[in-house]
């Protein structure tokens, strides 16, 4: 199937808080924006029961905050496509290509906001019991364990908050924590310690889960004594950190050793016009508020880049006559690269003929001017070279 090619100002990849914020800012700046999402609009917010630290909302469910951000982005005019998935990307300073199932997009700028996914629990039965007692989303799967004993693995704020959510549904929640303390907000630690049906097992590692078709017990190890024991639980929920969703960009964008995208403070990656925002980029704190901040900066920088590119591009002129084959070829080539240009028809005015003579020293077309560079005839390499400097 021949895919339709589409030029667009900006594509945002990912509709979590970073991508939705970028969509809000970009469309408000009159930048034509498409957000591509391959899963659920709202990102990780959808798997967080409550969010208590996002300014302006002292307690809001992740679902509600996601709905609000989505409504605001689409209300401003951002288009979100959640059904056409990206197959490949190719980014260079000169050109950005995103191929989806349906289209070949050639955006002027790109914001990568693909976020992160939960790290898998490092146990050999992880895939065997995935969805059958091994879970990563309390709001999605927690209700299946009403009145059961279950465990949460992890020690950050997300682990503790999700444990408290699960404790409302389950008979008992055991938090398995590798170290002797948590790495979470003090307020959240205080809260979790008050919950009657939460038991905290410090200095313990999850070794494995076992059962028949579904999980029936967990094997744990005391990290100080090395002693193993068994917990009769029906599920483990893993919150041991996240890993970036960057497989698609390997080879196109500079990543750090853990796979996070390296940016500067303007969210600029190593490729001009490609920005990264939110959990997907290398940074210290990954929160909704920091994702939103990154999305804001990325959109404002992308807008500046797009405007500058458009202004520079009007400096491309093609002096031509209507029936000249090489003239058509120059125009076709510029079209294929998504470069806007002005056509000057030399037959129309003596002044234009004089300009051709002036800029090229001859009376022959096509003559293409790209800023100060003058290219006589159709010469792909010279055009490419001149465009590099735009
Ligand atoms: C259980 C849990 C509880 C949390 N609690 C809090 C909290 O209380 N407060 C707080 O501030 N933060 C919390 N966080 C963290 C917060 O949710 C994240 O920091 C934030 O969502 C990151 O936003 P993001 O837009 O960068 O990425 P994400 O939210 O991960 O969104 C990225 C989006 O990109 C999409 N995507 C990925 N790959 C592609 C692709 N190839 N094509 C198209 N789309 C793609 C994903 O499907 C996703 O929708 C919590 C996280 C979890 C998991």
Provide mean pLDDT across the span 330-347. Answer: 88
Is residue 343 in a domain?
A: yes
Is residue 78 in a domain?
A: yes
- Tally of domains within the chain: 3
| Closest C-alpha among 32, 60, 59, 35 to residue 46 | 60
Is residue 92 in a domain?
A: yes
* Residue nearest atom 14 in ligand 1 by C-alpha distance: 287
* Helix %, strand %, coil % of the chain (to 5): 35, 30, 35
Same domain for 96 and 12, yes or no, is yes
Same domain for 373 and 337, yes or no, is yes
Same domain for 8 and 89, yes or no, is yes
Same domain for 113 and 25, yes or no, is yes
Is residue 62 in a domain?
A: yes
Same domain for 113 and 246, yes or no, is yes
At 160 the pLDDT is: 96
Contact 227, 126 (CB under 8 A): no
Same domain for 27 and 108, yes or no, is yes
Show the tokens assigned to 179. 């170290």
Contact 62, 48 (CB under 8 A): yes
Is residue 12 in a domain?
A: yes
Residue 328 phi/psi, 5° resolution?
-60, -40
Distance 253 CA to ligand 1 centre (A): 20
Same domain for 297 and 202, yes or no, is no
Same domain for 306 and 323, yes or no, is no
Show the tokens assigned to 365. 């077309």
Q: What is the C-alpha to C-alpha distance for residues 356 and 57, in angstroms, rounded to an integer?
A: 63
Lowest mean pLDDT among 13-22, 95-104, 354-363: 354-363
Q: What is the C-alpha to C-alpha distance for residues 115 and 279, in angstroms, rounded to an integer?
A: 5
CATH of the domain at 383: 3.40.30.10
Same domain for 16 and 46, yes or no, is yes
What percentage of residues in the chain have a pLDDT greater than 90? 80
Lowest mean pLDDT among 90-104, 321-335, 342-356: 342-356
pLDDT surpassing 90 at residue 123: yes
Q: What is the C-alpha to C-alpha distance for residues 200 and 269, in angstroms, rounded to an integer?
A: 42
Contact 362, 285 (CB under 8 A): no
Provide mean pLDDT across the span 267-280. Answer: 97
Give me the residues paired with residue 183 across strands. Answer: 156
N-terminal to C-terminal alpha carbon distance within the chain? 34
Q: What is the C-alpha to C-alpha distance for residues 276 and 137, in angstroms, rounded to an integer?
A: 25
Q: SS3 for 39?
A: coil
Task: Find the residues whose C-beta lies inside 6 A of ligand 1.
Answer: 13-19, 36-40, 43-45, 47-48, 51, 53-54, 86, 113-116, 158, 161-162, 245, 248, 278-280, 286-289, 291
Distance 44 CA to ligand 1 centre (A): 3
Distance 48 CA to ligand 1 centre (A): 9
Distance 118 CA to ligand 1 centre (A): 10
Range of the domain at 40: 4-117+242-311
Packing angle of the helix pair 157-169, 186-194 (nearest 10 deg) = 20
Is residue 82 in a domain?
A: yes
Is residue 124 in a domain?
A: no
Q: What is the C-alpha to C-alpha distance for residues 273 and 264, in angstroms, rounded to an integer?
A: 13
198, 199, 201, 206: CA torsion to nearest 10: -60
Same domain for 212 and 191, yes or no, is yes
* Residue nearest atom 38 in ligand 1 by C-alpha distance: 114
Tell the burial category of 330 from Cβ atoms under 10 Å away from its Cβ (0-12, 13-18, 19+): buried
At 387 the pLDDT is: 84
CATH of the domain at 232: 3.50.50.60
- According to DSSP, the β-strands at 116-118 and 242-244 are antiparallel
At 347 the pLDDT is: 78
Contact 119, 240 (CB under 8 A): yes
The residue out of 265, 288, 311 marking a domain boundary is 311
CA angle 114, 120, 124 (to 5 degrees): 155
What DSSP state is assigned to residue 325?
Answer: H
The residue out of 263, 281, 311 marking a domain boundary is 311
pLDDT surpassing 80 at residue 310: no
Give me the residues paired with residue 38 across strands. Answer: none
Q: SS3 for 88?
A: strand
pLDDT surpassing 90 at residue 383: yes
Contact 7, 338 (CB under 8 A): yes
Provide mean pLDDT across the span 121-146. Answer: 94
Lowest mean pLDDT among 66-75, 315-324, 378-387: 315-324
Same domain for 190 and 337, yes or no, is no
The whole-chain average pLDDT of the chain stands at: 93
Q: What is the C-alpha to C-alpha distance for residues 274 and 253, in angstroms, rounded to an integer?
A: 9
Residue 327 phi/psi, 5° resolution?
-65, -45
At 314 the pLDDT is: 64
Is residue 122 in a domain?
A: no
Same domain for 104 and 193, yes or no, is no
pTM (2 d.p.):
0.80
* Residue nearest atom 15 in ligand 1 by C-alpha distance: 287
Q: Which residues are CB-neighbours of 299 under 8 A, at least 6 positions away?
A: 10, 21, 22, 23, 24, 25, 26, 29, 31, 111
Among all residues, which ones are annotated catalytic?
137, 140-141
pLDDT digits (tens, 9 = 90+) for 178-196: 999 999 999 999 999 999 9
The residue out of 275, 296, 311 marking a domain boundary is 311
Q: What is the C-alpha to C-alpha distance for residues 61 and 52, in angstroms, rounded to an integer?
A: 8
Q: Which helix (H) or strand (E) holds 354?
A: helix 350-360
At 99 the pLDDT is: 98
Tell the burial category of 247 from Cβ atoms under 10 Å away from its Cβ (0-12, 13-18, 19+): exposed
* Residue nearest atom 51 in ligand 1 by C-alpha distance: 44
């Amino acid at each position: 199937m021949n895919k339709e090619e589409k030029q667009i100002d900006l594509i945002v990849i990912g509709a979590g808080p970073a991508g939705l914020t970028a969509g809000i800012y970009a469309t408000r700046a009159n930048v034509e924006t498409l957000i591509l999402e391959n899963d659920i609009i709202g990102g990780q917010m959808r798997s967080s029961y409550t969010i208590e630290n996002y300014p302006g909302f002292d307690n809001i469910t992740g679902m509600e905050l996601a709905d609000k951000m989505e409504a605001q982005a689409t209300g401003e005019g951002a288009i979100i496509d959640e059904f056409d998935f990206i197959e490949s990307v190719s980014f260079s300073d000169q050109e950005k290509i995103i191929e989806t199932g349906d289209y070949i997009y050639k955006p002027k700028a790109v914001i990568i906001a693909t976020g992160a996914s939960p790290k898998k629990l490092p146990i050999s039965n992880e895939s065997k019991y995935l969805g059958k007692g091994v879970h990563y989303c309390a709001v999605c799967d927690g209700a299946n364990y009403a009145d059961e004993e279950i465990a949460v693995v992890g020690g950050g704020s997300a682990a503790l908050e999700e444990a408290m959510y699960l404790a409302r549904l389950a008979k008992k929640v055991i938090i398995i924590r590798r170290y002797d303390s948590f790495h979470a907000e003090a307020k959240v630690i205080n809260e979790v310690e008050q919950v009657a049906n939460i038991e905290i097992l410090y200095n313990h590692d999850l070794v494995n889960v076992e059962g028949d078709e579904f999980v029936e017990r967990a094997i744990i190890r005391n990290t100080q004594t090395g002693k193993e024991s068994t917990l009769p639980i029906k599920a483990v929920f893993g919150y041991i950190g996240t890993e970036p969703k960057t497989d698609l960009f390997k080879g196109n964008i500079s990543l750090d050793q853990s796979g996070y995208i390296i940016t500067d403070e303007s969210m600029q990656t190593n490729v001009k016009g490609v920005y990264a925002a939110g959990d997907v980029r290398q940074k210290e704190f990954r929160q909704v508020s920091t994702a939103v901040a990154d999305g804001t900066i990325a959109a404002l920088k992308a807008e500046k880049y797009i405007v500058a590119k458009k202004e520079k591009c009007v400096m491309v002129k093609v002096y031509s006559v209507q029936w000249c084959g090489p003239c058509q070829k120059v125009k076709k080539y510029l079209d294929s690269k998504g470069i806007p240009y002005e056509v000057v028809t030399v037959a129309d005015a003596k002044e234009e003929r004089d300009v051709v003579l002036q800029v090229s020293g001859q009376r022959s077309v096509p003559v293409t001017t790209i800023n100060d560079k003058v290219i006589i005839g159709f010469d792909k390499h010279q055009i490419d070279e001149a465009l590099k400097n735009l």
